[in-house]
Amino acid sequence: MPTLLSHPAVPLAIGLALGARRIPAPLLAAGVVASLVPDLDVVAWRFDVGHSSFWWHRGATHSLGFAVALAALAAAVAGRLRAPPRVAFLFVAAATASHGLLDMLTTGGSGIALLWPLSDERFFFPIRVIEVSPIRFDRFIDAAPRVLGSELRWVWLPALAASLTLAVLRRIGRA
């Protein structure tokens, strides 16, 4: 998986590209949190949950179905997020779904149960370029330069480039 530092790159990039009028700060914060929530499934390791269970890491919480459910919750509280329900739904759905999609680009771990609950099959993209991050802190310390360099190259720089390009095009369109 990418580190918890890189999953927020997608909602932050979308927020920057669309601007604060479309993605107000409370909604942006909700999107950042939503991009991290799928990894709460690591608590399954503390229980007797088998690797084949949909509750195991990269299972149900990494699915598009979970992204839709979390997005529906965001739409229900859209007023608190200072956004229309449709915008809250779409933004939180994209932020949550991006977590599993980024994990599908990693070089290790189990695949993503992207289509759960319709299927328990786990998927990776054919091209896997993001160095997988060790979950244990002691293993991460040794791998940090390699992992963070990979995330900079494959997550942050493309997200920033796309975001800035879209932000400039949005401003040109207003001129």
Contacts of 164 (CB under 8 A, 6+ apart): 16, 17
Q: Is the pLDDT of residue 169 over 90?
A: yes
Query: For residue 143, what pLDDT is reported?
Result: 92
Structure tokens at 50: 């088998």
pLDDT in tens, 21-38: 999 999 999 999 999 999
pLDDT in tens, 118-152: 998 999 999 999 999 987 888 889 999 999 999 99
Quote the pTM value: 0.91
Delimit the domains of the chain by residue range: 26-128
Residues of the chain above pLDDT 70, percent? 91
Alpha helices in 19-116 (DSSP H): 25-36, 64-76, 85-103
Positive or negative: CA dihedral 32, 34, 37, 38: negative
Structure tokens at 78: 């859209």
pLDDT in tens, 68-114: 999 999 999 999 999 999 999 999 999 999 999 999 999 988 899 99
Query: For residue 52, what pLDDT is reported?
Result: 59
CA–CA dist 171, 56 (Å, integer): 44
Question: What one-character DSSP code corresponds to residue 46?
Answer: G
Q: Is the pLDDT of residue 54 over 90?
A: no
